[in-house]
Amino acid sequence: MSLLITNATILTVDAEDRVIRDGAVYVREGRIAAVGPSAELEPRYAGAARVLDGTGKVVLPGFVSTHNHVGYTLFRGRAEDAGLGCVTGQYFPMATVASREERLAVGSLTYAELLKSGVTTTLEMEEEADVFAPFVESLGVRSFMGIMTYDVDVDAMAKDEFRYDAALRGAQFGQAVEFAQDWHGKAGGRIQVMMTPNMTISSSPELLRASREAADRMGLRTSIHLGWGEYEVEVMQRLRGQTSFEYARDMGMLAADTVCAHCYVVGDSDTDVLAASKASVAHCPLMNAVRGHIAPVVEYRSRGIPVSLGIDNMFADHFEVLRACVNVARIRTGSATVMQCPEVLRLATMAGAEALGMGMEIGSVEPGKRADLQMLDYRRFGLTPTLDPVQNLVYHAHSKDVEMVMVDGNILVEDFELKTAHASALIDDAGEAAEAAWERFVAKYGGILAR
């Protein structure tokens, strides 16, 4: 199968951040075979099985979102105004209430929403994440996936008491390992399983050490939430007498293969620990801003700490993440010129690929890479004039402007429509599942926040 896109503007995100006007991309056997001026490529690849006219269109790499909980769309309309109390008061308790079927319904909707938003790769970590693997396979997206393990007594934690349970640990860890055995490298390599303990306060030393040992043994990457709240800092001092970053490092869960989600509550020594670890940060500026926090990513980048972008949960328009990345960096630094658009585009694509060890495979529009691409129609309200296609992308584009998305050269969104799933069925099923789960949540906890 071969495909040629002509007459488009190409945002390559290559080493020089080249933008090619009147450009073409030739895709063959799932990979990008050539990129260049239309006038050169059109005659050379006139025999392509399919030719798409890209006039007025912009082609760029698919977004790589390095922090996701797709099933947490369960909390859409529940957690946005709940503050950080939602972590112990909603997220963990819901894990004891929601069924696998409900989680699947809601998470499937989110995977589809993200795909429609140009996100071709996600790092999905969640309780029961294994339930999504068949849907990821059929939808056609690329996903790094991990069971978000914990061994803390959840109902005790909601009351600020911390007890760790060996039986729970065994069950959770066993599920995570089994998921890796069943799915790592499957779906044509599009599914990569990771070891992803949720966070430090919900993990005993035994769970974190076992996670590292399994990751090394099975060749899996790792991820964990770090630096997400003052409560986390206080609890870690109380339980371990050290910071979350020190604890994660000492347990082997802060290493070069680790994606650390958030990192917005950090002491100076934590930044040193992070820099020394070679781990990367999944910056989730949209969610963090809702929670009243801004990660110091300009400082991280000046210290050589790799930063990529994640949407986290509940939200579905990934372009809002790019805008939030600009806005919060400028508020935090007081500078209206930090975090320029080409840099943000790179964080949303190439930096995410590198954080997942995929820098040679995805993240830019360059010959030899896998054809994970999105194409936006710029001849729409909000995107004209196109004096600078990168600024238009970062400041003015939305999910609704994404016309075509492909992964491994397979077109999954075309003419603004999902090709590999039924949007209306996903919406109906997710709505029903969320209502059922919340009915049981309220019955068990007496309200929408467990205390």
Site for Zn ion in 152-171 (CB under 5 A): none
- Compute CA distances 62 → 203, 347, 351, 365, 418, whole Å: 33, 12, 12, 9, 15
Quick one: 79 or 261, whose CB is closer to Zn ion? 261
Q: Do 442 and 413 form a contact (C-beta atoms < 8 A)?
A: no
DSSP string covering 269-315: HHHHHHHHHT-EEEE-HHHHHHTT----HHHHHHTT--EEE--BSS-
Shortest gap between Cβ of 215 and Zn ion (angstroms)?
Answer: 19
Q: Return the residues of window 349-378 that contact Zn ion according to CB under 5 A.
A: none
State how far the Cα of 446 lies from the Cα of 405, in Å rounded to an integer.
Answer: 43
Residues 215, 53: Cα–Cα separation, whole Å: 45
State the nearest-atom distance from the C-beta of 312 to Zn ion, in Å: 5
Q: Distance between CA 387 and CA 24 in Å, rounded?
A: 19
Near Zn ion in 56-115, by CB under 5 A: none
Site string for Zn ion, 231-270 (x = CB under 5 A): ------------------------------x---------
Nearest Cα neighbor of 69 from 183, 148, 174, 135 is 148
Min. distance of Cβ 98 from Zn ion in angstroms? 16
Nearer to Zn ion, 232 or 377 (CB): 232
Two tokens, residue 356: 């997942």
Rank residues 261 and 430 by Cβ distance to Zn ion and give the closer one: 261
- Nearest-CB residue to Zn ion? 261
Measured from the CB atom, the residue of 103 and 369 that comes closer to Zn ion is 103
**Min dist. Cβ of residue 440 to Zn ion (A):** 23
| Alpha-carbon span 427 to 430, nearest angstrom | 5
Query: What is the SS3 assignment for 192?
Result: strand
DSSP string, 345-411: HHHHTHHHHHHTT-TTTSSS--TTSB--EEEEE-SSTTS-S-S-HHHHHHHH--GGGEEEEEETTEE
Q: Other CB atoms closer than 10 Å to residue 81's CB: what's the count?
A: 8
Which lies closer to Zn ion via its Cβ, residue 261 or residue 273? Answer: 261
Which CB atom, from 5 or from 261, has the smaller least distance to Zn ion? 261
Binders of Zn ion among residues 261 to 320 (CB under 5 A) are 261
In whole angstroms, the minimum distance from the beta carbon of 284 to Zn ion comes to 7
- The answer to whether 408 touches 370, Cβ cutoff 8 Å, is yes
Q: How many residues bind Zn ion (CB under 5 A)?
A: 1
Would you say 191 or 282 has its CB closer to Zn ion? 282
Write down the least CB distance from residue 225 to Zn ion, Å.
Answer: 5
- In the bound complex, what is the minimum distance in angstroms from residue 317's beta carbon to Zn ion? 18
Rounded Cα–Cα distance for residues 194 and 129 (Å): 11
Interface pattern 188-217 for Zn ion (x via CB under 5 A): ------------------------------
Write the binding mask 392 to 421 for Zn ion: x where contact by CB under 5 A, - elsewhere.
------------------------------
Q: How far is the CB of 93 from Zn ion (least distance, A)?
A: 16
Residues found near Zn ion in the complex (CB under 5 A): 261
